[in-house]
């Protein structure tokens, strides 16, 4: 499973800051403390965090379902619908860094409460305003506001990272990330249930289902979450990471993996209806399949980290992008031949490999800095302890930046579909763009991390 550490957020020595219910003492690396006190507290915080993040991801993905309800009476063409699914991804990407930094600024417990309640900002007006006659600019504002759910992922991961010792961070953060990602198929199943029971005339019921869940998430955070003492931001790490070329290389790769996952998750239902209109004449027909891709992509994510542990992150990432290019090629061929079975298989493969790539790319990041730290020690430029601290600091910063940039891939996917349907009436140009991007990603992975030579980073 991929690991996501906080963006330059570290735990300093305990200090009384008065931010919510702050723990008096927190020493997760102390085996005795962890066994007797730390583990039960960390587990309680993890499960509440998973629930709150899951609800946030569902709100972020609301418009992947909502657009299926927007029939002819709303007067919105396919290009307009793809724009409605692009703007939540854009705001979610922008909010990832400030949401991460907010954990140390306000305290994990307090910020989880606030970030959960912020989910009411888009869902309450959606539950009131979604009906024929609502203006397109209003829908755009409502869609954009659901992007706050994308920020919840970053702050949740930053917070849980502080609770666990190094040896257990991977599993804990993997559970947290997986629980959040499952919010995408979950909201699509809610949409399917509404379509199958109440019908397409009631899109407001989908956000209405989440109103009590949002309140419950905030109440659970207030009742059961804690704040780790002395957490602090290290803005210098972000500046240093932003000057490092590996940051932008890994951000590019993460656009190809997580960006594909969230982008396809938002667009899949629309694309099915447009490419196979005769098979999916009503939204409920498409909704039966819409959730499958995000579901398999979420569940398969741990495999990427596991394979990277065994085979090496760069090797898995390289072949994963080769497989994604092949999957996109399969989808393109199936669309041209109008073969639904092959089309569905190709698209599900894209979801599977985007999930695997989420794990393998994040496994590469700490390995990059471990290899560079080891090289600095061998050359006498740093002592071992200083090199280890630098590697941890840069890993956290790079992961935060790459996560924020990578989420913008969701925007690019939906914009590509929109432009393709606008210009040609098909998605062929979008599929060709995806093939080109994945080819760029596997070429960069080979050139930077797999190419034989003395500059190759060992162990990446």
Token pair for residue 385?
């302890």
- Are residues 300 and 397 both part of a single domain? yes
Helix (H) or strand (E) holding 8, with range, is none
Residue 181 or 167, more confident: 181
- Are residues 373 and 287 both part of a single domain? yes
- Are residues 243 and 367 both part of a single domain? yes
Query: CA-to-CA distance for 262 and 351, rounded, in angstroms?
Result: 9
Single pTM value for the model: 0.84
- Residue 72 falls within a domain, yes or no? yes
- Are residues 269 and 345 both part of a single domain? yes
Token pair for residue 200?
């397409």
Whole-Å CA distances, 430 to 48, 191, 208, 361: 39, 26, 34, 24
Are residues 356 and 304 in contact, defined by beta-carbon separation less than 8 angstroms? Answer: yes
**In the chain, % of residues over pLDDT 70:** 95
For residue range 21-80, list pLDDT tens digits in order: 778 888 888 899 999 989 999 999 999 999 999 999 999 999 999 998 888 899 998 889
- Are residues 252 and 224 both part of a single domain? no
At residue 79's C-alpha, the angle toward residues 78 and 80, to 5°, is 90
Choose the final residue of a domain: 233, 259, 282: 233
Token pair for residue 126?
């959606």
Are residues 261 and 355 in contact, defined by beta-carbon separation less than 8 angstroms? Answer: yes
Domain at 131, CATH number: 1.20.1250.20
- Residue 8 falls within a domain, yes or no? no
- Residue 2 falls within a domain, yes or no? no
Choose the final residue of a domain: 208, 233, 258: 233
Place of tokens 């990427």: 304
- Residue 7 falls within a domain, yes or no? no
- Are residues 291 and 389 both part of a single domain? yes
- Residue 369 falls within a domain, yes or no? yes
State the average pLDDT for the chain: 87
- Are residues 295 and 376 both part of a single domain? yes
The answer for residues whose C-beta is within 8 angstroms of residue 154's C-beta and 6 or more apart is 7, 95, 96, 97, 99, 100, 400, 403, 404
For residue range 70-112, list pLDDT tens digits in order: 888 999 988 899 999 999 999 998 998 899 888 888 888 999 9
Are residues 143 and 88 in contact, defined by beta-carbon separation less than 8 angstroms? Answer: yes
Sign of the CA dihedral 8, 41, 50, 28?
positive
Q: How many structural domains does the chain have?
A: 2
- Are residues 228 and 239 both part of a single domain? no
Least trusted range by pLDDT, from 281-285, 362-366, 380-384: 281-285
Question: Which domain does 54 fall in, by range?
Answer: 39-233
- Residue 204 falls within a domain, yes or no? yes
Half-sphere exposure of 348 (CA within 13 A, CB side): 13
- Residue 28 falls within a domain, yes or no? no
Token pair for residue 100?
């991460």
pLDDT at position 218, please?
97
- Are residues 161 and 281 both part of a single domain? no
Query: CA-to-CA distance for 249 and 251, rounded, in angstroms?
Result: 5
- Residue 60 falls within a domain, yes or no? yes
Half-sphere exposure of 97 (CA within 13 A, CB side): 19
- Are residues 305 and 435 both part of a single domain? yes
Choose the final residue of a domain: 178, 200, 233: 233
- Are residues 328 and 388 both part of a single domain? yes
Query: CA-to-CA distance for 404 and 147, rounded, in angstroms?
Result: 12
- Are residues 244 and 214 both part of a single domain? no
């Amino acid at each position: 499973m991929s690991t996501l550490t906080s963006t330059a957020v570290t735990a300093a020595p305990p200090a009384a800051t008065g931010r919510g219910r702050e723990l008096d003492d927190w020493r997760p690396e102390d085996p005795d403390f962890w066994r007797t006190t730390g583990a039960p507290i960390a587990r309680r915080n993890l499960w509440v965090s998973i629930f709150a993040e899951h609800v946030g991801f569902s709100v972020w993905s609301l418009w992947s379902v909502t657009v299926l309800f927007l029939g002819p009476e709303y007067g919105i063409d396919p290009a307009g619908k793809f724009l409605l699914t692009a703007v939540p991804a854009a705001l979610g990407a922008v909010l990832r860094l400030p949401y991460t930094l907010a954990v140390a600024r306000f305290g994990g417990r307090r910020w989880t409460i606030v970030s959960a309640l912020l989910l009411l900002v888009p869902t309450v007006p959606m539950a009131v305003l979604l009906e024929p006659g609502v203006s397109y600019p209003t829908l755009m504002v409502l869609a954009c506001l659901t992007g706050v759910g994308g920020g919840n992922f970053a702050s949740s991961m930053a917070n849980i990272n502080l609770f666990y010792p190094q040896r257990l961070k991977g599993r804990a953060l993997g559970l947290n990330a997986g629980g959040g990602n499952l919010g995408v198929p979950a909201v699509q199943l809610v949409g399917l249930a509404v379509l199958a029971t109440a019908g397409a005339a009631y899109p407001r019921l989908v956000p209405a289902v989440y109103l009590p869940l949002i309140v419950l998430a905030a109440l659970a955070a207030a009742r059961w979450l804690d704040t780790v003492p002395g957490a602090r931001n290290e803005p210098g790490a972000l500046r240093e990471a932003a000057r490092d070329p590996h940051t932008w290389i890994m951000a590019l790769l993460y656009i190809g993996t997580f960006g594909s996952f969230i982008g396809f998750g938002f667009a899949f239902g629309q694309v099915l209806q447009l490419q196979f209109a005769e098979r999916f004449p009503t939204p409920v027909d498409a909704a039966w399949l819409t959730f499958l891709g995000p579901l398999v992509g979420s569940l398969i994510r741990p495999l990427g980290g596991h394979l990277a542990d065994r085979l090496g992150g760069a090797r898995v990432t390289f072949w994963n992008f080769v497989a994604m290019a092949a999957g996109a090629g399969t989808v393109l061929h199936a669309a041209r031949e109008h073969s639904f079975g092959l089309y569905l298989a190709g698209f599900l493969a894209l979801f599977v490999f985007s999930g695997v790539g989420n794990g393998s790319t994040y496994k590469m990041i700490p390995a990059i800095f471990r290899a560079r730290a080891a090289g600095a020690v061998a050359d006498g430029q740093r002592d071992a302890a200083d090199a280890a601290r630098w590697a941890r600091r840069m890993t956290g910063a790079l992961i935060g930046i790459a996560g924020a940039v990578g989420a913008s891939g969701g925007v690019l996917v939906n914009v590509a579909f929109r432009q393709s349907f606008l210009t040609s009436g098909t998605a062929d140009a979008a599929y060709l763009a995806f093939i080109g991007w994945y080819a760029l990603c596997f070429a960069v992975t080979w050139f930077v991390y797999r190419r034989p030579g003395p500059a190759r980073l060992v162990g990446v």
